[in-house]
Amino acid sequence: MIIRMLPDSKAVEALCICYEKKRVYHHQGIPYFVTSITVAGSGRDARVVAELNPVWNEEVVL
pLDDT per residue as tens, the chain (62 positions)? 999 999 999 999 999 999 999 999 999 999 999 999 999 999 999 999 999 999 986 555 55
Query: What pLDDT does residue 56 have?
Result: 84
Neighbouring residues of 43: CB distance < 8 A, sequence distance ≥ 6: none
**Max Cα-Cα span within the chain:** 47
Sort 2 into a burial class: Cβ within 10 Å, 0-12 / 13-18 / 19+.
exposed
Strands, E assignment, 1-62? 2-5, 24-27, 30-40, 47-54
